[in-house]
Chains A and B, each alone.
Chain A
Amino acid sequence: MRVHTFDNARDAANALLDDSSARILGGGTLMMRAVNEGTATFNTLVRTKDPALQRLRTDTSRVELGAAVTMAQILATPDLNYLHPVAATVGGPAIRQMATIGGNLFAPSPYGDFAVALLALDARVQVYSSFGTRELALTALFGTPPSAPPRLVGAVTFSRPRSEQALHYHKVTRVTPKGASVLSLAACFTVRGERLSGVRLAAGALAAGPIRLARMERALEGQRLEAAAVASALPQMLDDIAPPTDAIASTRYRRAIAPVYLRRLLLGELTPWA
């Protein structure tokens, strides 16, 4: 295994393009597992010390999280307290010291819980590629075909939620709170005149990667936040998801409990993670 380290992200991105067997190394919580197991499908690790990837900036309207920002740094930032319940469910304390925002975006199901929250926040990503730096929606990044040229994520940005309660999140796991997800759910919405507005719903471990529940969002937009309206919209969720079977849970089990937990999340019936 070779390791190449670059001072800036642009050079690291070019290294990924030049070597199809190279992979970017963030915190190592996923890549190094494969190296240790001897199952790595790559033979070069690319690292970057670019300080831009360590940037964590918040203001009254916008948040920018560098790809190398860790879950522990999120938890240490009071201004991001609405993301604390999310970061707190990513592994144990030592994992959170190492696990990065960027790495979590590419964590395969049933991991990638922080990416679920970012989807619900309608986040955008800054990527480095052979064409330079550009920004795209996180949904577009997840929709990129595997055959596309590799890109290096530099940062994630999103509009600050209008209130700290505007982001709702829950993770179902067999080893609370740190285990791999049976499923994870994030909801971002406001209530105007008793009607739901700006509904964004995201889910993890209910497809190959994090997804938005687009049909469910459309069904809820403009509805009252009440049990009857939620129950009426829930069947749409089953058309949005394609849960995998893995060591944590089966497709059948995930399909059975997903609507139950989404209903509870929307109606405020779940105890928040500490």
Chain B
Amino acid sequence: MGLTLEFQLNGDHTAVLADEAATLQTVLRVELGLTSPKRGCLQGTCGACTVLVDDAPCLSCLMLAQNVAGRSVQTLEGLKEGAQLNPLQHAFMAHFAAQCGFCTPGMLMAASALLRQTPNPTRQQVVDAIAGNICRCTGYEPIIKAVLAAASASGNT
């Protein structure tokens, strides 16, 4: 059965017709054309589908789309600042924190959630924040350095 789902998506009010049992990931990718939340494990293990719901990281593959009715959702597409990439995205590029890039949207969203909550994180806090995101390429160190660099560039260290 379909239902009309209304929520804030990347700052804009959005209304979409969705199946009542659809996951948030399906709605974002299929109905709304936002492909940044990746279909990885579909088990909540890899974190490639991470988006922000009310500024908190959530796994879109495990979340019923209905759960975001009236709430705020942010995907990687909404992370940039106008036409510019935000400092976190610049830092990922500068520190070679992406190789194949499949984990990168989830990593960026997890890191973004951290920096909103903790603008001046320690290394351990960065490690904890991305603990739910798996990367097979970088060995994580470039990602950690990029997040710390982004925090520094924002003038918080």
Contact = CB atoms under 8 A, between A and B. Distances in A.
A3 interface: yes
A95 B21 contact: no
Interface stretch (B41-49, B96-104, B147-155): B41-49
Contacts, number: 78
A59 interface: no
B10 interface: no
B110 A1 contact: no
Given A45-B21, A95-B59, A5 B66 contact: yes
Contacts of B1: 2
B44 A29 contact: yes
A110 interface: no
A27 B24 CA distance: 13
A93 B110 contact: yes
Interface residues of A, number: 26
B62 A32 contact: yes
A55 interface: no
Contacts of A5: 66
Interface string A1-36: 111010000000000000000000101110011011
Interface string A59-76: 000000000000010000
A28 B63 CA distance: 6
Interface string B82-126: 000000000000000000000000000010010000000000100
B21 A92 contact: no
Pick from A27, A47, A72, A274 the residue with the most CB of B within 10 Å. A27
A219 interface: no
Interface in A64-115: 72, 91-95, 97-98
Given A25-B64, A28-B62, A93 B132 contact: yes
Contact of B132 (A27, A37, A91, A274): A91
Contacts of A36: 23, 42-43, 61-62
Contact of B64 (A3, A33, A72, A92): A3
B129 interface: yes
Contacts of B75: none
Contact of A3 (B20, B110, B129): B20
A97 B56 contact: yes
Interface residues of B, number: 28
A151 interface: no
Nearest to B62: A32
Given A28-B64, A32-B23, A33-B42, A98 B58 contact: yes
A180 B21 CA distance: 27
B21 A2 contact: yes
Contact of A91 (B44, B53, B63, B124): B44
A37 B42 CA distance: 8
Interface string A191-203: 0000000000000
A178 interface: yes
Pick from A33, A72, A177 the residue with the most CB of B within 10 Å. A33
B133 interface: yes
A93 B21 contact: no
Interface string A149-181: 000000000000000000000000000011000
Interface string B45-77: 001001001001111011110110000000000
B12 interface: no
A98 B62 contact: yes
5 contacts: A28-B63, A32-B44, A32-B63, A94-B57, A94-B59
Interface of B: 1, 20-21, 23, 42-44, 47, 50, 53, 56-59, 61-64, 66-67, 110, 113, 124, 128-129, 131-133
Given A93-B113, A95-B59, 8 more contacts: A28-B67, A32-B61, A33-B42, A47-B66, A93-B129, A94-B47, A97-B58, A274-B128
